Chain A
Amino acid sequence: MVNTGAGGWETVIGLEVHTQLNTRTKLFCRCPNVFGGEPNTRVCPVCAGMPGALPVINSQAVRLALRAGLAMGCSVNRSSLFSRKSYFYPDLPNGYQTSQWEPPICSGGRVALRSGGHELGVRINRLHLENDAGKCLHAGDGPSLVDLNRAGTPLIEIVSEPDLRGPEEAVDFMRHLRRLLVYLGVTDGNMEEGSMRCDVNISLRRAGTEVYGTRAEIKNLNSFNSIMGASRHEQERQREILEAGGEVLQETRHYDPDTGLTRSMRSKEEAPDYRYFPCPDLPPVVLDASLIEEIRAGLPEAPEARQKRFEDALGLNVEEAAMLVDSPGLADYFEAALRGGAGAKRVATLILGGLLPECARRGLDWTEAGFSPERMGHTALMVDEGRVSLRTARELWAELMDGGLEVEVLAERKGLLQVSDATALEEAAREAVEANPAEAAAYRAGKTKLLAFFVGQVMKATRGAGNPALVNELLKKYLEG
């Protein structure tokens, strides 16, 4: 597809995505893997690079990497190796990063997503494990400080093939990855805290040509906006160079989100020599076939497939299905609530129109509301059975969440229990017809729209508690009978 934004040029993008894993402890030591905290309070001899300290691989990190790799259709390397990637920086305690070079834990996968209204397949080159560095804090003119709390945090790096055509696809791919990885429980996906960040490799070529142009790599983008901004700017910059007959340099660039510009960090010639070699402190990561199968079998349904199932088999609309699938754990909650026997559409309506808005109003995450899927299922069932109206259920939501009383009990106390008792309603319907003879005559003369008027009368009499379907039926009987 020709990217029109570049005018006659096709933009080619590949991403390297770094994702922090949702493990309890760091990759090579037992320090807690938690964001932030007082500087240098979550460090030990291993992650602080003290003399004589040795790394021990975190098996939970290996499992999460496998989970991500298998979900992306990668093949698993039964024996993968950690290498040392050497460079000096104050936040890198050992003077090398311990990362997988050859072979990585997973290689050769593919993910499918929808972007700009079409299906897009993106090949995954590799997925490997590595540890994160600490952070340097530069405070004005004073000395720079180093915080090693983050040092040793487990990361996976996912390297895509250059299958993305333009900034929009790059952002859609990143969104897709984030949703997938959060869904898998591999990461918390919190981009503001740096849980996911990526490098964008971008080049331009004449539309219709095969050979890739020279690429630039834009480092360390940590929001969808910056991926979009950096790619767009870089696309324009390269186009201007190429159209002026110039050559794009292979280089690493930095993006400044404040100015929206990228600038050169270093050229290909200045690229550091990382002197990779196998880490002698860590034996190869050898995986049993049974472990791989266990993890494969434990993979949840892919979010796309689940969304489609919600639409096709459960009759939800696209928006409802997407909302349920997008929020981590919400689809599970939804399916748990369905076990109460209520209709899927009703449950979805109550989650999206009752629970979520009330949580939003209170500034809570829905998981903090303490509203069990069983109660959700029960509430939906009460609506389905006509004991309370949908409107009543929504109106009572705040009280429902605050107390332990079920919706029908609350409704009864407030006199809002829906009247499905045919005798009581019949009385009200008959009275409504008899009290309004002119309208009744008009109805019978063909002005059937007046039915709504009579329904209103009955509802008024029953203070809104009449079961609408039953009321309709009874009124018709009196008017037409």
Chain B
Amino acid sequence: MAELYELTLSQARSALLSRECGAMELTRACCARLRATEDRLHACLSLLEEEALAQAKKLDESGPEAHRPLWGMPLMLKDNICLRGSPTTCASAMLRDFVPFYDAEAAARLKSAGAIILAKNNLDEFAMGSTTENSAFGRSANPWDLGKVPGGSSGGSAAAVSAGQAFGALGSDTGGSIRLPAALCGCVGLKPTYGRVSRFGLVAFGSSFDQIGPLARTVEDCARLFEVIAGPDPKDSTSARLDLYPEGLPEQNFVEAAQAGGRSPEESLKGLAVGLPKEFWEQEGLSPEVAQNCREALQVLERAGAELVPVDLPHQKYAVAAYYIMSSAEAGANLARFDGVRYGLRAKAAADLDSFFVSSRSRGFGPEVRRRIMLGAFVLSAGYYDAYYRKAAQIRRLLRDDFDRALSRCRLLAAPVATRTAWPFGFTENDPLAAYKMDLFTVTLNLAGLPGLALPVGLGAHSRLPVGLQLMGRPFDEAALLRAGAALERLVPPLGAPAALA
């Protein structure tokens, strides 16, 4: 039999419910795997082993509860999701010692579903980056190649999940921060529709873009996590009230949809119209191995009966610019609260108020965060607002229109997650623009507020590193993504265990 940590979340749940193993045993297996791999990966910023084991013990004493969908399940949280009583650093010196006295809504939902939170994961500082190299507490490594980045900003979560440190994790996706690391580390990541998951307790980066979503080793596992965290929250005014939605809301049983896809892939894919945005597939710089794996996946879909439809997203070429303008504008304001007055890093003596703020913030924030704050202040400055922010907001609207058009003909769209597989550390260090372009295929969806699922479609022929395909869908139609994703997952060969940890 496989090691316990190698089970999928769904398998682990069966084992728990049938009492083949207990929560304690499962948690210990993850802790052991964590100790065996963490030196190499640095996927976690704080370990909550003691609390986790105590909770596992308590759960075991009362016995499995089938009505709690994550009962006894060891999971992790990206360290920008508040967990009551545990450090929540956002990988920033600014919040090195910050311990929230409240749970993020998503974390609270995991807990009440019976989950055990084992660790808080590394990330790019305040989720700004695509490599996890921008962490104030050291970079994370890719479990497939320790010399390469895991992607970002939820790099710690993706690396941990792929390595078997936990059965799943919650990340956040502002411009691709769940999908990119999932693709680069060879796991599955879901970026939900904007408004689907409460943002309460997620330390804000780009408030109109941010969504919390799951990372796990299979599509069904993602669906299980998603089903727990999805749903309206009165504490988040942007969380969607689906009961107020016009008629024709798509299927909302996510686990069932994923299971159906895996059980009968052909049936699930037959007649499914899958749009191929030419702006993605014809993108200059798309690496041949990524293109090849993704095209093979398309052929699998087609053979199973899906209909491939070429579509256009004419405003895609403006997406990266619009994204960085708007997300930086929001980030600048969101990060203004870190002023050293109430919590966080605080300058000691300062001559006056301004130098107090300047000194606290200059020491608290790393270079990438400072760059975005400055960019955000610039695009909102008097006289520049119309040229930048307003323009970007218009592009955002047009992009959503592009998607609405394409998705009126197709149930979902498919494209590579990134132009390439994982890249070496330091690759984008001196070229922020090159780093920003790593988000080329992912930011579009955040601008449009639509859901996207990244799943592995084999190892690149050249790099032998995971390649990810992205399925994009209609608003609140995550079920369609999960069903098709699970079907595809069933039809492509599995990646196996991460090579660098073998």
Contacts and interface: CB of A to CB of B under 8 A. Distances in A.
B124 interface: no
Interface in B179-234: 199-204, 206-208, 234
A110 B472 CA distance: 52
Contact of A54 (B81, B199, B342, B380): B199
A280 interface: yes
A435 to B, nearest CB: 86
Given A51-B95, A275-B381, A88 B202 contact: no
B161 to A, nearest CB: 23
A96 B237 contact: no
A86 B374 CA distance: 13
A48 interface: yes
A52 B204 contact: yes
A53 interface: yes
B339 A45 contact: no
Contact of A52 (B100, B332, B335, B342): B100
B102 interface: yes
B88 A51 contact: yes
Interface string B229-266: 00000111110000000000000000000000000000
Interface in A259-287: 273, 275-277, 280-283
Contact of B333 (A48, A93, A95): A95
A57 interface: yes
A17 to B, nearest CB: 25
The main secondary structure of chain B at its interface with chain A is loop
Interface in B279-332: 329-330, 332
Nearest to B104: A52
A57 B235 CA distance: 10
B98 interface: yes
B336 A51 contact: no
A325 B200 CA distance: 47
B450 to A, nearest CB: 17
Interface in A64-116: 84, 86, 88-90, 93-96
Given A49-B342, A90-B341, A55 B333 contact: no
Contacts of A88: 336, 339, 353-354, 357
B377 interface: yes
B208 A280 contact: yes
A8 to B, nearest CB: 37
Given A55-B237, A56-B235, A273 B381 contact: yes
A52 B336 CA distance: 13
A53 B235 CA distance: 9
B20 to A, nearest CB: 38
The main secondary structure of chain A at its interface with chain B is loop
B200 A53 contact: yes
Contacts of B337: 49-51, 93-95
A330 interface: no
Contact of A281 (B90, B101, B207, B380): B207
A146 interface: yes
A146 B337 CA distance: 14
B333 A52 contact: no
A226 B211 CA distance: 50
Contact of A90 (B104, B200, B339): B339
A112 to B, nearest CB: 37
B208 A52 contact: no
B389 interface: yes
Contact of B201 (A52, A84, A276, A277): A52
Contacts of B204: 51-52, 281
Contacts of B101: 45
Nearest to B336: A95
A80 to B, nearest CB: 14
Nearest to A83: B333
- Of B95, B207, B337, B357, most buried by chain A (CB within 10 Å of CB) is B337
A62 B200 CA distance: 23
A231 B339 CA distance: 36
A54 B204 CA distance: 9
Contacts of B427: none
Contacts of B90: 51
Interface in B337-356: 337-339, 341-343, 353-354
Nearest to A84: B333
B72 to A, nearest CB: 27
Given A54-B200, A54-B235, A277 B389 contact: yes
Nearest to B378: A275
Contacts of B377: 275
Interface in B134-161: none
B396 to A, nearest CB: 12
B36 to A, nearest CB: 32
B342 A280 contact: no
Contacts of A57: 237
A45 B380 CA distance: 27
- Of B88, B101, B237, B343, most buried by chain A (CB within 10 Å of CB) is B237
B238 A283 contact: yes
B382 interface: yes
Contacts of B98: 51
A195 B279 CA distance: 57
Contacts of B395: none
A56 B238 contact: no
Contacts of A48: 342
B341 A146 contact: yes
B385 A283 contact: no
Contact of B380 (A49, A93, A275): A275
A49 to B, nearest CB: 4
Given A277-B380, A280-B208, A280-B330, A52 B339 contact: no
Given A95-B339, A146-B341, A277 B329 contact: yes
Contact of B343 (A50, A90, A96, A277): A50
Nearest to A272: B382
Interface in A287-340: none
Contacts of B236: 54, 56
B82 interface: yes
Contacts of B381: 273, 275
28 contacts: A50-B100, A51-B88, A51-B98, A51-B203, A52-B81, A52-B102, A52-B199, A52-B200, A52-B201, A52-B203, A54-B200, A54-B236, A55-B237, A56-B236, A57-B237, A95-B335, A95-B336, A95-B339, A96-B336, A273-B381, A275-B380, A276-B385, A277-B330, A280-B238, A281-B204, A281-B238, A282-B237, A283-B237
Given A52-B199, A86-B332, 12 more contacts: A45-B102, A52-B104, A52-B200, A54-B236, A56-B236, A88-B354, A89-B353, A90-B339, A95-B337, A280-B207, A280-B208, A283-B237
